[in-house]
């Protein structure tokens, strides 16, 4: 099925990223959008309608491609916006280093949504994307109607590992050779297969190939490393009780990257948050079983409609 053509506000150009591969998933929905000094790659599906716009935010190291089986289906009932986050995929790296911190990424993404004339969206974030969604809502960057976290990264690395991980990430981010070495190693399929397997998810050959091609981009790898070095999730967990938008947590019980305990910590901060366990799935649940995740998202959007009508 051909994905629905996305509708942009008047005055927003429809250029493509210069080097976007001709066979990249849903290339026809891709747009290059400049907001201030930040250059974005965004995929837009469908047209604005009575349902709020849905914004799908990928996790660290991924890109808009991770929502390839979900975004077009959700667009049958409204507009769906899927950006590559700053520095990821074909979105440019922010000029200021602060742009790769969590508040910085939330601010830049909020600027993008304003440029696209998005009001009261449903923010759906996977892993680190969930943290960006919540930070946007907390900081007034988006007046979200609903925040949905899929295997959300709500906690820093646990225990003593944090004191090793954070300095190591900073050192790696400062070494200009490391991203090129990682990109070179990704030309061999086995390291990428092992990386995906370590998340607890099983992807088909096409899914593995897309990640391999993404990781071969040294600029993407360098930005991901700089992001890991810059992020601090502790303020997010501290501020989460102030979240005014409803929060719903989709949690895969086989996630080996962000274990369910992270979502449990978020729910302790917001006891009213919804919770659904995705059984037998790993960190990349939306890619290994898109139908399961799509069904959950459609149900949540359906439940939201009556509340918005009565507001």
pLDDT in tens, 205-256: 999 999 989 988 889 988 998 898 899 999 999 999 999 999 999 999 999 9
Helix, coil or strand: residue 273:
coil
173 domain residue, yes or no: no
Distances (CA, A) of 45 to 5, 15, 30, 59, 274: 6, 15, 9, 20, 27
- Examine residue 179 and state whether it is found in any structural domain, yes or no: no
pLDDT in tens, 170-213: 544 455 555 555 565 656 778 888 888 999 999 999 999 999 89
> Which residue range is the domain that position 65 belongs to?
27-159+233-310
Residue 158 has pLDDT above 80, yes or no: no
CA R_g for the chain: 18
Say if residues 285 and 250 touch (Cβ distance below 8 Å).
Answer: yes
Evaluate whether residue 139 is within a structural domain: yes
The answer to whether 158 touches 89, Cβ cutoff 8 Å, is no
In a domain? residue 215: no
Query: Higher-confidence residue: 133 or 183?
Result: 133
pLDDT recorded at residue 86: 98
In a domain, 1, yes or no: no
Spatial distance between the Cα atoms of 157 and 200, rounded to a whole number of angstroms: 17
Whether residue 191 is contained in a domain is answered as no
Two tokens at 50? 């009575």
Instruction: Give the predicted TM-score (pTM) of the model.
Output: 0.91
- Among the listed ranges 59-63, 85-89, 206-210, 226-230, which one has the minimum average pLDDT value? 226-230
Total domains, the chain: 1
223 within a domain of the structure (yes/no)? no
- Average pLDDT, whole number, for the chain? 88
Torsion of CA 171, 165, 91, 21, to 10 degrees: 90
Residue 297 lies in a domain: yes
Summarize the confidence of residues 281-292 as an average pLDDT: 97
Interhelix angle for 205-215 vs 189-197, to 10°? 110
The CATH number assigned to the domain holding 293 equals: 3.40.50.1820
105 pLDDT higher than 50: yes
Specify the pLDDT at position 38: 96
**Own/partner pairs for 167-175, CB < 8 Å, 24+ apart?**
169/225, 169/228, 169/229, 170/229, 172/225, 172/229, 173/222, 173/225, 173/226, 173/228, 173/229
């Amino acid at each position: 099925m051909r994905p629905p053509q996305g509708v942009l506000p008047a005055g927003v150009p429809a250029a493509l990223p210069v080097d976007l591969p001709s066979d990249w998933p849903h290339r026809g929905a891709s747009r290059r959008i400049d907001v201030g000094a930040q250059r974005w790659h965004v995929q837009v599906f469908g047209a604005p309608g009575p349902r709020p716009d849905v914004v799908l935010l990928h996790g660290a190291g991924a890109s808009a491609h991770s929502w390839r089986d979900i975004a077009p289906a959700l667009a049958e009932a409204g507009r769906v916006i899927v950006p590559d986050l700053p520095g990821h995929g074909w979105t440019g790296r922010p000029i200021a280093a602060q742009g790769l911190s969590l508040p910085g990424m939330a601010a830049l993404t909020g600027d993008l949504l304003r440029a696209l004339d998005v009001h009261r969206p449903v923010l759906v974030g996977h892993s680190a994307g969930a943290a960006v969604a919540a930070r946007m809502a907390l900081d007034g960057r988006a007046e979200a109607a609903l925040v949905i976290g899929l295997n959300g990264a709500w906690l820093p690395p646990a225990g003593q590992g944090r004191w090793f991980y954070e300095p190591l990430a900073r050192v790696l981010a400062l070494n200009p050779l490391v991203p090129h070495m990682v990109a070179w190693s990704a030309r061999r399929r086995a390291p990428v297969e092992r990386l995906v397997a370590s998340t607890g998810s099983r992807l088909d050959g096409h899914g593995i190939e897309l990640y391999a091609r993404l990781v071969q981009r040294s600029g993407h790898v360098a930005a991901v490393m700089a992001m890991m070095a810059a992020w601090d999730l502790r303020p997010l967990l501290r501020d989460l009780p102030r979240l005014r938008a409803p929060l719903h947590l989709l949690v895969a019980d086989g996630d080996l990257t962000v274990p369910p305990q992270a979502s449990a910590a978020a729910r302790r901060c917001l006891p009213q948050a919804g919770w659904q366990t995705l059984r037998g799935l790993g960190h990349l649940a939306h890619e290994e079983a898109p139908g399961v995740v799509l069904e959950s998202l459609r149900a949540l959007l359906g439940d939201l409609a009556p509340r918005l009508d009565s507001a």
